[in-house]
Amino acid sequence: MQTHFSLTALADPDVAQSEKIIRACVHCGFCTATCPTYLLTGDELDSPRGRIYLIKEMLEKELPADARTTRHIDRCLSCLSCMTTCPSSVHYMHLVDHARAHIEKTFPRPLQERLLRSLLAFVLPRPALFRLALRIATPLKPFAGRLPKRLRALFALAPKSLPPASDVDSPQVFPAQGARRMRVALLNGCAQSVLDTRINEATVRLLTRHGVEVVVAEGAGCCGALPHHLGKVGQSHAFARRNIEAWTREIENGGLDHIVVNTSGCGTSVKDYGFMFRNDARLAEKAARISSLARDVSEVIEMLDLAASGATPRLRVAYHSACSLQHGQKITREPVAALERAGFDVLPVPEGHICCGSAGTYNLLQPEMAGALRARKVANIESVAPDVIAAGNLGCMMQIGAGTATPIVHTVELLDWATGGPKPSSIG
């Protein structure tokens, strides 16, 4: 795509990077075939190609964001399906992230919307505050219909009950069982440590059972993805810096073979720390090292010889491949292979490349679009009649679980069960 950025604009390294990405686009339109929002609306501006045009016009002309551009960028899930489809390797993720940051700086959103987005960015990454907010929201769910439309989704997705805080999520070291094969840090996350403590618990059991020493590092927490995708770069980078420093201390003190992430949305973000801090003289090298060590839990499991007990039933498992895993990290084979090695029948899900509509805070900010995508995803999953659904991302689990009676669990919960751990409580 031809561009005409001024030299002044290109002096900004973020603009220069975006200009390179825009120039890589050849208008082919392959991305429209797999873009979830374009499939729903049929609007060119709700496709990656259309959004690239809007971003180009905004950045090239050095304009503040307008309402039309903001509306269509807000509708983008950042599912990154377009990056898997694109024959020209357009790095849409970095482009849309830059656009969101520009919108956050230059577009005057209505007050209620600003407050909602600020609330999500501040509360969700802080487990203690998030837990308190959910304890307040849960008993108010029956009255959600009386609230302003923008707030209803917050209460609709609040869980019926919350698990108590898990000891697993406190800074500590879990020794390997038997001979130690590797030493890893586990990102225990923010929202996940509040909404479903079973995932981190199963991850620790599974890894330590197979000879992995697991460290929950002091000072590590939210990866920064939630505020980052809201355009709040300052907040997201602050969270990322804390993680980089915390894991660097572990590398220097005891060494780390990998940094394990069991929420794929977080994993995509951590693997991008090197890019995020590429222009930071103090952190660039550290951030690049952290990104190089980051692994989805399924990648680490593939390095281990899973010792399946043979005691679990041969369940029919519909594996939902989270967008952040298959498109963001290009991981598709490893989770399926692990489930099959553990003795499960893994079923291919129709339209497995299409987003479920979760996408971080998307289902809270764009509930109508998210609801349509969930209905489509659930229909495709239920068409294969599974006994259980497995996924590698908590957001997807909550989104899909709200639309089906079929139990849904994290992939590591099934693998933990198959190798001697407890049966997941959500499976009858």
Query: Which pLDDT does position 80 carry in this prediction?
Result: 97
CATH number of domain containing 58: 1.10.1060.10
For residues 413 and 409, give the distance between their C-alpha atoms in angstroms, rounded to a whole number. Answer: 6
Pairing status of strand 316-320 against strand 294-296? unpaired
Q: Note the pLDDT tens digit of each residue in 61-104.
A: 999 999 999 999 999 999 999 999 999 999 999 999 999 999 99
One-letter amino acid of 155: F
What value does the mean pLDDT take over residues 112-137? Answer: 92
Structure tokens at 181: 């094969």
Instruction: Tell me how many degrees the CA angle 271-103-137 measures, rounded to the nearest 5.
Output: 75
The yes-or-no verdict on residue 42 having pLDDT over 90 is yes
For residues 57 and 76, give the distance between their C-alpha atoms in angstroms, rounded to a whole number. Answer: 17
What value does the mean pLDDT take over residues 134-156? Answer: 76
Q: How confident is the model at residue 205 (pLDDT cuts 50, 70, 90)?
A: very high
Report the b/e string of 242-278 with b at 16+ CB within 10 A: bbbebbbebbeeeebbbbbbbbbbbbbbbbbbbbbbe
Q: To 10 degrees, the CA torsion angle through 207, 220, 126, 365?
A: -80
The yes-or-no verdict on residue 59 having pLDDT over 90 is yes
Query: Which pLDDT does position 3 carry in this prediction?
Result: 92
Look-up of token digits 């998307």: 362
Q: Note the pLDDT tens digit of each residue in 235-257.
A: 999 999 999 999 999 999 989 99
**12/86 same-domain check:** yes
* % pLDDT > 70, the chain: 100
The dihedral built from the CA positions of residue 370, 295, 317 and 349, taken in this order, carries a sign that is: positive
The yes-or-no verdict on residue 311 having pLDDT over 90 is no
Q: Would residue 423 count as lying in a domain? A: no
Q: Note the pLDDT tens digit of each residue in 168-188.
A: 999 999 999 999 999 999 999
Please, are residues 210 and 304 in contact by the beta-carbon 8 Å criterion? yes
Q: Would residue 257 count as lying in a domain? A: yes
What value does the mean pLDDT take over residues 129-149? Answer: 80
Residues with Cβ < 8 Å from 134, sequence gap 6 or more? 158, 159, 162, 194, 195
What value does the mean pLDDT take over residues 268-290? Answer: 97
* % pLDDT > 90, the chain: 89
From 237, 266, 301, the end of a domain falls on 301
Query: Which pLDDT does position 162 carry in this prediction?
Result: 86
The dihedral built from the CA positions of residue 108, 109, 115 and 118, taken in this order, carries a sign that is: negative
* Domain carrying residue 358: 308-418
CATH number of domain containing 348: 3.40.50.1860
What value does the mean pLDDT take over residues 15-35? Answer: 95
Instruction: Determine the straight-line distance between the first and last CA of the chain, rounded to whole angstroms.
Output: 54
Count up the domains in the chain and report the number. 4
Q: Would residue 1 count as lying in a domain? A: no
Q: Would residue 29 count as lying in a domain? A: yes
Average pLDDT, the chain: 94
Please, are residues 270 and 290 in contact by the beta-carbon 8 Å criterion? yes
Q: What one-character DSSP code corresponds to residue 327?
A: I
Q: Is this structure's pTM higher than 0.75?
A: yes
Q: Note the pLDDT tens digit of each residue in 146-166.
A: 777 777 777 777 777 889 999
